[in-house]
Structure 1
Amino acid sequence: MELLHLSLVLLLISAQCFTSSLSDVSQQPKASALTVLEQTEDDVGKVEDGTVEDDLDPEDMEVFYPTSEWQTVKPGQAIPAGLHVRLNLETGKNEAKIPDDERGNSGLKYWKQGRRQGMVNTNSKSFTAEELKRALKLMKQEGNIEVEEDHQEKVRKTFRPIKELMKDFEAMNVMMETDMEIINKLIDKFNSTSATLEEKIGALYDLEYYVHQVDNAKHLVSTGGLQLVINALNATEPLIQEYAAFVLGSTLSGNPKVQIEAMEAGSLQKLLVLLATDHPVAVKKKALFALASILRHFPFAQQQFLKLGGLQVLRQLFQARGTESLHVRVMTLLYDMVMEKKLIQEDKDSSAQHKEKCRQYDEVNLLPPMLEQGWCVLVPKLLTSAEHDTREKVLKTMNLMMAACRDEYQALQDLTASLIMLRSEYENLAAEEQREGDQDGYFLGLLNSVNSIIQKLG
């Protein structure tokens, strides 16, 4: 009887230990046989004996490696989820093994708990480098998927779907207009008989912003807007003339097809009339801008410019009182046209297209009439300007015209003295540049231009 009583007591104690053991197993959310940290694949290859240190939990340092046989679980060892666990009644210790239905697998068992994850090799107590790399790659992929899902969820919460936005826009009667639709509205406003002067000027001002783009400029031509702008050069209001010339110049810039359309619409003649007749300097300034836009890189327009007496118009503008602010612009335009032809003729391109271009520029004889009209004397007068930029353009133009104007330059009494003064000034400025470490500075270039002219005149 006493033996039976003793057996019952031992049985109760064993049952209590077994229950406590199962409770411990079920309450181990951090249990792992191997915890893999964020590390490179090279680091993975250095792992030996199947152990990896993890600084997060000291208890993870003691790892239980299950097999197909029952093994004793030491106190403090972490048991991977999914194992069979029992209490050995003879020894009073916990034991665990791999379930019988998983014995034939690859031996690598993965587990995950919250943000922590790992794996256990159920076939042996060590991992090969390839096994670790494969496990790490799998866990990184799963981590990326989680990050991507988190990002998508954040985007969904932050931004509204496009369909909802479109519905809101429709409810507010908001319409997205293209540049061409805006241009059409501006043309209609400018052409409206009920529009005020201020509204017309505003339409031209806004239109100038859009026609810088090649496609928008072509659209202006196709809708008849370019012809309206050209006709506005004859308007009685100076502001309309000024802004119309501004729009025209911007439309023509770097746009050969529009240049042709403008020539056929008679824009060249109207611009020369504005420059030759009594108009405010602001109007002439914008007209000169439009004239330069239609002449540059367009030899046919340059030919017509000479036939219509354009060079004489520029000469009168150059000599008129109150137009000093336009003199440099006039000289720059002439310099550009002479240089264009020079560069084309010096180009060694043998293509048929280049030959045709050379033929067209051969018919533009700008330099001879410039000499006849006294431009050899007019250009050097601008050397008295205090602006270095103006002097630079004058020196370049004088060098370009040197072969034809050498005698006229030598006949100018004050020219040599002016060049010597400029040389002294630019020697000092160039030396200061060099002291500051600029060995090829702006003023050194001006000094070289001055010395070149002095040498050629000597």
Structure 2
Amino acid sequence: MSGWAGLLSITARVTLLLLLGSLLFSCSSLSQRVPEFALTKIEERDIKDASGKELVTEDDADPEDLEVFHPTDQWQTLRAGQAVPAGSHVRLNLQTGEREAKLPDTENGQSGTREERRRGRRRLGKVDVDANSFTSEELKKALAKMKASEKAERKAREEEVRKKFRPIEQLKEEFEKLNMKIETDYEIMVKLISKFNSSASTLDEKVAALYDLEYYVHQVDNAKDFLSLGGLQLVIEGLNNSEASLKEHAAFVLGAALSSNPKVQIEAIEGGALQKLLVILATEQPLAVRKKALFALSSMLRHFPYAQQQFLKLGGLQVLRSLFRHQGMELLRVRVVTLLYDLIMEKMLLEDSQHGEQMEEKMQQYQQVRLVPAVVEQGWCALVPNLLAMPEHDTREKVLKLVGVLVAFCREHYRGDSALGTALSLLRSEYEELAAQEQREGDKDGYFRELLGSVNTIIQELR
């Protein structure tokens, strides 16, 4: 009996030793293989901080707030809240208690060559995206966000444009609310002519109507409509009005309608406008009235040889010459000199141009206008040079131009005019100095050099 008991005791001991050895072997083997078979997933709800409070997990965090972890072929520690790319290896380091991750091993134990990783990258819009770092669902969401952002920017730009410009529908509604409509020039002129012609209108209202009409009749088509509406004859009759302000503005409207408009010029001279304008210039009138009358006369005579011929027959040159006898008419004298120069040059340029059939007819009309002989006969050769004593360079320029044209017809008179010789010498000295100053300042073809040339040409012609 004691022998059997001893045998059982020995057998139990051997079995216990074998179990212990097997257990030790398993633990040793497990310890050696921990890096390879590290724990890849832990229950997020079991992660607590030192105080026992549960930490915020990736499942609880806002996906847009997660920081993406970029794995390499080496184990790296994961920070709280970092999102691990799909396919990465994750383990729990039993020694430190921290999670670690790295790229998955390839067949040869490496994490892939640089070229392989480079091929794994794709272009998404303007941003480089690693295809191994995000799932297809995440890429779709990113693309949707980019489209939404572009749409929002486009809407913002459209809204900004809408703020700057109002739509036509809104403008129409506002006009309707104000009981307004867009009127044509023709409709406006009808109202203005009616106001000017109405006996119920006050003097100020009539003057205001003429002032507005002057703006519209500058256009050729509007001037023709003004003629068809009877407005031209009304303003011609207004030249006889006893009110100076009405007379002034009537002449102003007439001059605007006549400018470069042959049809209106013909109707005006047939309506007696030329005679009325000459009467205003020949009689005692305020300077403003005479100024506008001279403007209307100039508009009627330019490029209209028939009107020039009638002007000479009615003694128009004598009327203009009378303006040189009165004080305070310096401005009008300069304008008269400019008008005479333009009319003389107009005919001379036509004579020098090539003649077509239409120009031949016009040339025949100009041949009947003997303006230069009338100028010489009525003493303008002596009258014009006196204006060289005026201090304004612009006035001198206009006078020098007319004297230069008249030299061919007034040469003998100019040669015997000692006052003209003295004036030309003084002007040459003055303009030589001013032209030299211009040249020193780098202006080789300046204004004063041109005036000096005009003076020298006249002096040369008179030698």
TM-score w.r.t. structure 1 length? 0.70
The one-letter amino acid of 1:286's match is K
1:379 shift after superposition = 1.0
Contact 1:229–1:248 (CA under 8 A) maintained in structure 2: yes
The farther-off stretch of 305-314 and 161-170 is: 161-170
Distance 1:341 1:25 in 2: 99
Contact 2:235–2:250 (CA under 8 A) maintained in structure 1: yes
Partner of 2:407: 402
The answer to whether residue 249 in structure 2 is matched with residue 221 in structure 1 is: no
Larger RCO, structure (CA 8 Å, separation 6 or more): 1
The answer to whether residue 429 in structure 2 is matched with residue 424 in structure 1 is: yes
Contact 2:78–2:100 (CA under 8 A) maintained in structure 1: no
Partner of 2:178: 172
Contact 2:40–2:91 (CA under 8 A) maintained in structure 1: no
The one-letter amino acid of 1:401's match is L
Distance 2:328 2:100 in 1: 111
The answer to whether residue 210 in structure 2 is matched with residue 201 in structure 1 is: no
Partner of 1:23: 58
The one-letter amino acid of 1:337's match is L
- Superposed CA RMSD in Å reads 4.2
Q: Secondary structure at the match of 2:391?
A: coil
1:24 shift after superposition = 6.5
Contact 2:58–2:83 (CA under 8 A) maintained in structure 1: no
Partner of 2:375: 370
Distance 1:395 1:271 in 2: 28
Distance 2:146 2:271 in 1: 69
Distance 1:425 1:109, change over 3 A: closer
Of the three residues 231, 246, 263, the one matched with 1:257 is 263
The one-letter amino acid of 1:16's match is E
Contact 2:255–2:297 (CA under 8 A) maintained in structure 1: yes
The one-letter amino acid of 1:190's match is F
The answer to whether residue 461 in structure 2 is matched with residue 452 in structure 1 is: no
Partner of 2:395: 390
Distance 2:83 2:40 in 1: 25
Q: Secondary structure at the match of 2:239?
A: helix
The one-letter amino acid of 1:449's match is S
Q: How is 1:93-132 mapped onto 2 (pairs within 5 angstroms)?
A: 110=124, 118=127, 120=129
Q: Secondary structure at the match of 1:297?
A: coil
Q: Secondary structure at the match of 1:173?
A: coil
TM-score w.r.t. structure 2 length? 0.70
Q: Secondary structure at the match of 1:259?
A: helix
Distance 1:157 1:373 in 2: 70
Partner of 1:307: 313
Q: Secondary structure at the match of 1:326?
A: helix
1:310 shift after superposition = 2.0
Distance 1:162 1:362, change over 3 A: same
Distance 1:281 1:90 in 2: 108
1:445 shift after superposition = 2.0
Distance 2:43 2:304 in 1: 105
Q: Secondary structure at the match of 1:401?
A: helix
Contact 1:73–1:96 (CA under 8 A) maintained in structure 2: no
1:418 shift after superposition = 2.0
Corresponding residue pairs, total: 389
Distance 1:331 1:301 in 2: 18
Distance 2:460 2:306 in 1: 37
The one-letter amino acid of 1:436's match is E
Distance 2:338 2:357 in 1: 30
The answer to whether residue 282 in structure 2 is matched with residue 276 in structure 1 is: yes
The farther-off stretch of 18-27 and 327-336 is: 18-27
Partner of 1:332: 338
The one-letter amino acid of 1:371's match is V
Distance 2:327 2:300 in 1: 26
The one-letter amino acid of 1:214's match is V
Distance 2:168 2:100 in 1: 63
The one-letter amino acid of 1:29's match is E
Of the three residues 224, 227, 236, the one matched with 1:230 is 236
Q: Secondary structure at the match of 1:414?
A: helix
The structure whose Rg is larger is: 2
The one-letter amino acid of 2:312's match is L
The one-letter amino acid of 1:193's match is S
**What residue ranges of structure 2 are gaps of 5+ in the alignment?**
1-22, 24-37, 48-54, 94-98, 105-120, 133-144
